[in-house]
Amino acid sequence: MSELSDMVKRLGFTHLWIAVAAGSSAAGSLIAFSEHESVQSTDWSFLWAISAFTGWVYTFQRWMKSTRNPEQMPASRLDFMRKQGGRLGVFWTLLTIWAAARWLFEAGTPFAHLLTRQWPLMLLAAVMSIGYAFNPIGSRRGWRERPHLKLPTIALSWTLATIVFPSSHLGLSWWDPENTHLWGIAISQALFVAGITVPFDVRDVRLDPHEFQTWPQRWGASSSIRIALFLLAISASGFVVFDLNWGRAAVAILALPVVAWTIRPRKEAAYSILLDGLLILQGSAVFWFSTLN
């Protein structure tokens, strides 16, 4: 049991696992959209940037929460952030700067015009990621603390990072009539992320203030998990219809029993390792399915 707890702290609490999840899920998009089984040099630098920024955002969010609303954090995670939060912040900040510089350097001139064309999306992702934890306007309450905004913010941010940005990195246009399937893939991914996020609200139902109005607070754990399962089922169907590779559809189907199992709060490993690991599995599944063609 202590070994499992140590693994959760090393991978989950440091945000290494969720950072790898972002990179793996984005890699799945690169493989599916470019129709090749391996990513190139500039693709790897892109994945490093996505992973590093994800780790930085999650560390920033948790650090803000541990300093401003410690009562809303599980005791084990709060204790870890108080002891290691500063070191984690420095680590992820330096890694993000290095990864972003490497990406721009390796992508070079060919990516320059894409960068200028896609900057609104990048700005949107940055605003949503930071605003989720800390809103500098008004009451300074992050969107996590505002009713009805948590799931849409998380789902859209992950869709931007793992679907929209990879396609833009490859030069695909979202406004080209030949690429209308991208919208179906993006919606499917948003539903998938929302579906695997609901169990976290079930876990935190006693920690979240009632005014957050999360689904478990409004309708109870059972109804919330049933809705999450419905979202996953629609997501799997969407991936089958629109995706160029059925790997993500397979993972959405695999997520159904995992999410159903979380109808009651489980150990932290079920959330920090197992549920977040489904995003890692997306990249692996897409790669495996691409080898079957």
Q: Nearest to residue 170, comparing CAs of 286, 26, 24? A: 26
pLDDT tens-digit profile of 89-126?
Answer: 999 999 999 998 888 787 765 665 665 666 676 677 66
For residue range 7-38, what is the model confidence (pLDDT) as tens digits? Answer: 777 888 899 999 999 999 999 999 988 866 56
What's the pLDDT score for residue 129? Answer: 65
Say how many residues make up the chain.
293
Query: In sequence order, which residues have a C-beta less than 8 Å from that of residue 3 and are 6 or more positions away?
Result: none
Q: How far apart are the first and last CA of the chain?
A: 42
Write the DSSP assignment of 34-62 as a string of letters: HT-SS--HHHHHHHHHHHHHHHHHHHHHH
Q: What string of DSSP letters covers 236-264?
A: HHHHHHH-SSTHHHHHHHHHHHHHHHTTS
Name the DSSP class of 178.
G
**pLDDT band (50, 70, 90) for residue 132:** low
Coil vs helix vs strand at 230: helix
User: For residue range 137-195, what is the model confidence (pLDDT) as tens digits?
Assistant: 555 556 656 656 778 888 988 998 899 888 888 878 787 888 889 999 999 999 999 99
| Each residue's pLDDT tens digit, 198-241 | 999 898 888 777 777 788 888 999 999 999 999 999 999 999 99
Q: Please determine, for residue 73, whether its predicted confidence score (pLDDT) is greater than 60.
A: yes
> Would you say 56 and 182 are in contact if contact means Cβ atoms under 8 Å apart?
no
Q: Which residues contact 82 (CB under 8 A, 6 or more apart)?
A: 66
pLDDT, residue 256, reads 97
